[in-house]
Amino acid sequence: MSLRLRFALACAVVFLFVGTLLLATLYLVVRQSLEPRSGLGQPKYITLDIGQYWRGDLGYAVAQQRVSQVRAIYQDDTLYTVRTLGSFAVLAGAAGAFGLGWRTAAWVTRPIKDVTETARRVAQSHDLTERIGYDGPREEVKELTDIFDTMLDRLARSFDGQRRFVANASHEMRTPLTINRTLVDVAVRRPDATDDVKRLGESLLLVNTRHERLIDGLLALAEGEQAVLDRRPFDLTDVAEHVMDQVAGEAAEREVTIHRLLDSAPTTGEAVLVERLVQNLVENAIRHNHPKGEVWVTTRQRAERVELVVANTGLHVPPYEIEAIFQPFRRLHGDRLRSDRGSGLGLSIVRVITEAHGGTVTARPRDEGGLTITVELPAA
């Protein structure tokens, strides 16, 4: 029930209560006023039309009975009129109070509505530079909007600091790794390099590649948690086809067959981030597979949503481990040593990118082994 409706109902209930109380008081007052008076029962004399006085008790009984009948009839009619007309008046007044309260509530809650609209725009667009800027009098709504603007200022500074930290940390960590890779590559390619040096160099290059992949994953994880401000239309099918063309060589090397079941799936957002999402899912499906395994990639549109479904064969996955695979640095079956299977950030990145686009991601184990992961995004 909205605040405006509650306010209007409160006005109607208050009027109904007060009107009923006044009607009951009026009813009792009128009833008391119509009760018989003691002086009318035994008057000292009765004035006749002929101008003479009629004394004695001979005609008093008839007159008293007639007066009592007339009084009773008028009393019943008057009280009935008070009840009927009063009830209609109270109900009509309650309806009028509801309508007046409804109109008044719109005026009273207009500042709150402005606050709500601004908060909704900020939540949907993630634009922390927008402020409410309410210029009303110093009262409750003004205090609320000032607190909200202060909170937005702090959040904006916090996110800006986080972005700067991620960018600087990424640069500082990538630079020595790039230098290491270059030095090791040069050492390995020297003509006088021994077999031991070459094997050591290849191992160091693998470790360096793993660290670079880890840094890229952390950077993508941080970027995925940021706002998706530039929403542009694109087809999820085009992204999926591009990703599968890129991983075709790795799939052939691992003897994994990829099946494409692609229908048009128009959506909006950051195409680069969504490409990373699809790439992580397809690479996981290939790497967490067995030789001669299979991968199915499906895109389709259903009503107001588009779906990306990636299924693969592989080891059996217990249902209780499903939620854990979306946590950073969590791997299935305790595999923390195989660098060729990633850094444990792939599905974490998938989740944050999906949520940044207003979508959902779910996973379920296949009875034959492997996983089926479904990503739903808003349709364009």
Q: What DSSP character marks residue 69? A: H
Overall residue count recorded for the chain in this entry: 380
Please state the rounded mean pLDDT for residues 151-170. Answer: 78
Least confident of 81-85, 180-184, 262-266, 342-346: 342-346
> Which residue from 352, 35, 107 is spatially nearest to 221, judged by alpha carbons?
352
Q: What DSSP character marks residue 289? A: S
- pLDDT for 125: 64
Least confident of 121-135, 169-183, 307-321, 343-357: 121-135
More confident residue, 259 or 22: 259
- pLDDT for 338: 47
- pLDDT for 51: 46
Could you report the per-residue pLDDT of 101-151, keeping only the tens digit for each? 787 777 777 777 777 787 777 766 666 777 777 777 777 777 877 888 888
- pLDDT for 9: 81
pLDDT confidence tier of residue 336, bands split at 50, 70 and 90: very low
> Which residue from 380, 13, 29, 31 is spatially nearest to 233, judged by alpha carbons?
380
- Round the CA-based radius of gyration of the chain to a whole number and report it: 42
- pLDDT for 375: 93
> Which residue from 246, 313, 234, 306 is spatially nearest to 273, judged by alpha carbons?
234
Please state the rounded mean pLDDT for residues 157-163. Answer: 78
Residue type for position 368: E
Measure the CA–CA gap between 161 and 146, rounded to whole angstroms: 23
pLDDT cut 70: percent of the chain above it: 79
pLDDT confidence tier of residue 328, bands split at 50, 70 and 90: low
61-70 contacts at long range (C-beta below 8 A, 24 or more positions apart): 67/40, 68/36
Average pLDDT, the chain: 78
Please state the rounded mean pLDDT for residues 242-248. Answer: 90
Residue with tokens 């409750």: 140
Q: What is the distance between the terminal CA atoms of the chain, rounded to a whole angstrom?
A: 32
Could you report the per-residue pLDDT of 294-324, keeping only the tens digit for each? 999 999 998 889 999 999 998 888 888 887 7
Q: What is the pTM of this model?
A: 0.53
Measure the CA–CA gap between 195 and 154, rounded to whole angstroms: 57
Take residue 314 and report the two structure tokens written for it.
């592989």
Q: What are phi and psi of 138, to 5 degrees?
A: -75, 90
Take residue 34 and report the two structure tokens written for it.
């119509």
The SS3 call for residue 1 is coil
- Going by C-beta distance under 8 Å and a sequence separation of 6 or more, which residues neighbour residue 298? 261, 262, 263, 307, 308, 309, 310, 311
Least confident of 65-79, 266-280, 352-366: 65-79
The answer, yes or no, to whether residue 88 has pLDDT greater than 90, is no
- pLDDT for 329: 60
Take residue 305 and report the two structure tokens written for it.
């949503």
Q: How many CA atoms lie within 13 A of 46 on its CB side?
A: 17
The answer, yes or no, to whether residue 44 has pLDDT greater than 70, is no
Take residue 175 and report the two structure tokens written for it.
């630079």
Which of 24-28, 222-226, 329-333 has maximum average pLDDT?
24-28
- pLDDT for 257: 93
Residue with tokens 């630079």: 175
Please state the rounded mean pLDDT for residues 264-278. Answer: 86
Strand 371-378 relative to strand 53-54, pairing: unpaired
Q: How many CA atoms lie within 13 A of 241 on its CB side?
A: 10
Contact 285, 277 (CB under 8 A): no
More confident residue, 70 or 237: 237
Measure the CA–CA gap between 99 and 154, rounded to whole angstroms: 42
Residue type for position 158: S
More confident residue, 334 or 117: 117
- pLDDT for 258: 93
pLDDT confidence tier of residue 53, bands split at 50, 70 and 90: very low
Least confident of 99-103, 166-170, 327-331: 327-331
- pLDDT for 37: 59
Measure the CA–CA gap between 271 and 234, rounded to whole angstroms: 7
Measure the CA–CA gap between 375 and 351, rounded to whole angstroms: 9
> Which residue from 161, 169, 307 is spatially nearest to 226, judged by alpha carbons?
161
Question: Strand pairing partners for 295?
Answer: 258, 312
Measure the CA–CA gap between 58 and 74, rounded to whole angstroms: 26
